[in-house]
Amino acid sequence: MGETGWKSAVSSGINSGTEAAARFGGDPVTLEKAEKSFPVRINSYYLSLIGSSTDPLGRQVVPSGMEAGDTSGTGDPLAEDADSPVPHLVHRYPDRVLLLVTYQCAVYCRFCTRRRAVGRTPTPTAGDMDRAISYISNHGEIRDVIVSGGDPLMLSDSTLGSLLSRIRAIPHVEIIRVDSRIPCVLPSRITPELCTELRKHHPLYFNTHFNHPRELTPESIRACEMLADSGIPVGNQTVLLKGVNNDPETMKKLVQGLLAARVKPYYLYQCDPVSGAGHFLTTIQEGLDIISALRGYTSGMAVPAYVIDAPGGGGKVQVIPPDIIEITDERVVFRNYAGRVFTYIQPGPAGK
């Protein structure tokens, strides 16, 4: 499927609360209110995978009446706007920046942390990108640029390639990362032509976003394999979502399926407390229990890091099950994955 084909898949799906109500049921007025809080988009491919509005896939993208009245979170829970020295660029960590190149996506996930902007903010202009690239060029400490949005693969191959070329030309930029959910939600967008373009800009890494094993279809697996065959390491960033994947067996099946598709489970994110998405939130203990159920019971490569992106702009904090029982100068006592207790004897002072 060429560029015309994948764009047709986006436009031919569901693009309003009214259309969602007609397809899945529900009060049209209520879903229209949800649409006002965040736009609706479900492309025809992803739509074909959904059984109902409350199944694990439908829950992610079909608007819900719970959105409009939710005041549990904030509009910018990660305080990205406060760390934006120029428009469309977030500089939070010392050596890396997040570059937001578009605010369009192939689907609009109802738990999106950038609900304030995605689907609403116009695509950055050439002048906007000039200022962002200039900022990166003028800050020699930046060695890592994450190209995100929205979804950067909503741009044409040529537009994306031109942007990546400009970033790659900056001497102190060592790596480029592309963050995109498109391999999962619109795999026909991953074409040989796109892969040829991406591989021009190595070292380039690709992080995608699968949340449920049913998203691992033959089409999406093939899209990931095409990227891997192009020499592009692919990672996955899953969001922990109530009613979607907040149980150990679902998560185990997902991470094992990802690894078999040559995708490294990278992060398991605690869902951000963004207004409109309160019904997706889980407890931290649920996440810890899932990680405990994975460690030792599947390949270590399949176990993602469980992280909270600290509200208010604190950055990512890894949350680890409490396996250490005691630490002294003489010994460390710890519990393994099966609950058995072991002791490691600390080395004595040098020379003794």
Q: What is the pLDDT of residues 195-232, one digit of tens each?
A: 999 999 999 999 999 999 999 999 999 999 999 999 99
- The kind and range of the H/E element at 258 are helix 248-260
Does the structure show a pLDDT above 60 at 351?
no
Does the structure show a pLDDT above 80 at 79?
yes
Same domain, 231 and 350: no
Same domain, 215 and 335: no
Long-range contacts of 162-166 (CB under 8 A, 24+ apart): 163/101, 163/129, 164/197, 164/198, 164/200, 164/201, 164/204, 165/200, 165/201, 166/129, 166/133
Q: Which among 191, 127, 120, 118 has a CA at the least distance from the CA of 153?
A: 191
Same domain, 308 and 327: no
Same domain, 206 and 58: yes
- How far apart CA 27 and CA 60 sit, in angstroms, is 18
Model pLDDT, residue 68: 83
Same domain, 174 and 233: yes
- Is 83 in contact with 244 (CB distance < 8 Å)? no
pLDDT classification of 247: cutoffs 50, 70, 90: very high
Model pLDDT, residue 5: 76
CATH of the domain at 283: 3.20.20.70
Domain that residue 148 falls in: 3-318
Same domain, 337 and 297: no
- How far apart CA 217 and CA 222 sit, in angstroms, is 8
Same domain, 94 and 204: yes
Q: What is the mean pLDDT of residues 239-248?
A: 98
Model pLDDT, residue 116: 94
pTM above 0.85, yes or no: yes
Q: What is the mean pLDDT of residues 296-322?
A: 95
Same domain, 340 and 225: no
Same domain, 101 and 80: yes
Same domain, 327 and 236: no
Same domain, 256 and 333: no
Query: Number of folded domains in the chain?
Result: 2
Residues classed as catalytic: 92-93, 96, 105, 109, 112, 114, 272, 309, 316
- The kind and range of the H/E element at 269 are strand 264-270
Same domain, 59 and 79: yes
